Structure 1
Amino acid sequence: MLYDTARTVGSRVGRVLYRPTIEGLEHIPASGPVILAANHLSFCDSVVIPLAVPRRIRFLAKAEYFSGTGVRGRMSRAAFTSLGAVPVERGRSGGALEALEIGLRWLKDGGVFSIYPEGTRSPDGRLYRGRTGVAHLALTSGAPVVPVGLAGTERVQPIGARLPRIAPVTVRFGAPLDFSAGYGDLRTGRARRLVTDEVMAAVQRLTGQEGAGTYNDRAAGE
């Protein structure tokens, strides 16, 4: 109920203020498990995607967003909880595996799980190489992957900005990618790398971003 209310109100307000361009919603299955794999430009990406998608979403967010104190801390916790975020302690041993297990459980129940394969926000607008967690989810669950291309969110809330600004936003959903067959004869690492690279190529076609050709190891931000 809280998620539905937050999404309805937030979506209406967002459409009035930002008049976002949303393309390809028909590519998101009406039911059943699906993975949304998006580029990551801004803090507000995790608000834009849940408000754009008509189905309930789960996504990972760093634990600090849930542990703040005072009025600001309570507001952050309430906002992320209402949007379907799951807290994850980054940097802790086993944290990445635990995060993927959360995603697999949600997918097993037929849900929509959103992930940023780059791992953290792009510091310069380029598209960084994807980490293979998205492939682990897809190959283990058999769920299709819908690539998501975000544009303009870096102007709404640039890295370091506390408050959002008014700027045009575009969200593009690509055709689902099916990885449920054809990878069984490959070594696990090789299969995950191929799947991840295919997902990132699909995201890049949606965004037109320049490829960085390397991983995003920026420590600050997320």
Structure 2
Amino acid sequence: MGVEPSVHDRPGTARVLLSSALWAFLALSSAVLFLGALLLWALTRPFDANGRVLHLYSCFWAQLYFYVNPRWHLRVEGRERLPWRGAAVLVSNHESLGDILVLFGLYRPFKWVSKAENFKLPLIGWNMRLNRYVPLIRGDRASVLRMMAGCERWLSRGVPILMFPEGTRSRDGKVKAFKDGAFTLSVQQRCPIIPVVLTGTALTQPKHALVFQQSVHARVRVLEPINPADFAGDVHALRDHVRNVMVREKARMEAERPAGRDSDLKAAR
């Protein structure tokens, strides 16, 4: 038998109204911005074969929702460690749907690996198709093989990819076990792994929730690239090392967060 949520667990009226306004703005702005993406795609396709310009436009599209909300704040550290050109596998921890908005704030070229159902979403999913991001059906071996082949093609063209090696969002904010895909690509393509650590993103929109938090202080920290050659082709050793580095850095970042924001994080979960 399920437990009825207490009054204290239910979002307040102000937060529901704010969330409704944000969803409405997202829908209306996406309609306008998708038309801009379509025009930009048509204009840049002849000279921008890898879609870098369209991706940077998509970064602006996603970041717009931070720009217009005075109570959502994002701090990005270490952006200079990301390449403008050249193969690299970016890996990030995954706390909420808000991670997508936040990671677009990196403002560097890369191709997302994302759930195939996201590509079916009106406007936003259509823009993902224009960007030629890489779809994945979780648990489907054939889809995984197609995803790996798609990533290999982008990496061979000097375009970074970004993956969530946990495979799905964390319910409690703790970094889950990593899957092998990103690290296999790094070893096979002889390109660096670049860890990206997020904190505070669970406060944008917790998993399975439609109500946004009123105040968000998200941080992104790009860590030093890790050379797969240092692990002599051992995918599991590389995977475990990267996860340990990210777990330690996430703990360090959370220790730096003001105490008042810890209580907000607990409330969001």
TM-score per shorter chain, which class?
A: 0.7 to 0.9
Match of 1:128 in 2: 176
Match of 1:95 in 2: 143
Q: CA deviation at 1:77?
A: 1.6
The one-letter code matched in structure 1 to 2:169 is: R
**1:19 paired to 2:62:** no
Q: CA deviation at 1:193?
A: 0.7
**1:59 paired to 2:112:** yes
Match of 1:114 in 2: 162
Equivalenced residue count is 197
The one-letter code matched in structure 2 to 1:40 is: H
The one-letter code matched in structure 2 to 1:66 is: F
Q: Check whether the contact 2:180–2:239 (CA below 8 A) recurs between aligned residues.
A: yes
1:1-222 matched pairs, under 5 angstroms: 1=40, 2-15=54-67, 17=69, 18-49=72-103, 51-67=104-120, 73-81=121-129, 85-166=133-214, 167-184=216-233, 191-208=234-251
Identity within the alignment, %: 27
Cα distance change of structure 1 residues 157 and 89 upon mapping to structure 2, 3 Å threshold: same
Q: CA deviation at 1:154?
A: 0.9
Cα deviation 1:151-184 (Å, max 9, x = unaligned): 1111101001235434111101001101135515
Unaligned runs of 5+ in 1: 68-72, 185-190, 210-222
Q: CA deviation at 1:10?
A: 3.3
TM-score (norm 2): 0.66
Unaligned runs of 5+ in 2: 1-39, 41-53, 253-269
Cα deviation 1:90-110 (Å, max 9, x = unaligned): 232322222122111111110
Which is worse superposed, 126-135 or 90-99? 90-99
Match of 2:31 in 1: none
SS at match of 1:22: strand
SS at match of 1:162: coil
More helix by share: 2
Q: Check whether the contact 1:148–1:206 (CA below 8 A) recurs between aligned residues.
A: no
| Structure of higher RCO (CA pairs closer than 8 Å, 6+ residues apart) | 1
Q: Check whether the contact 1:3–1:82 (CA below 8 A) recurs between aligned residues.
A: no
State how far apart, in whole Å, the 1-side matches of 2:74 and 2:141 are. 39
State how far apart, in whole Å, the 2-side matches of 1:94 and 1:206 are. 34
State how far apart, in whole Å, the 1-side matches of 2:173 and 2:154 are. 30
Q: CA deviation at 1:139?
A: 0.3
SS at match of 2:197: strand
Cα distance change of structure 1 residues 182 and 75 upon mapping to structure 2, 3 Å threshold: closer
SS at match of 1:208: helix
Which is worse superposed, 173-182 or 2-11? 2-11
Match of 1:217 in 2: none
SS at match of 1:74: coil
SS at match of 2:202: helix
Cα distance change of structure 1 residues 137 and 115 upon mapping to structure 2, 3 Å threshold: same
Q: CA deviation at 1:12?
A: 4.7
Q: Check whether the contact 1:152–1:169 (CA below 8 A) recurs between aligned residues.
A: yes
Q: CA deviation at 1:194?
A: 0.2
TM-score (norm 1): 0.79
Larger-gyration structure (1/2): 2
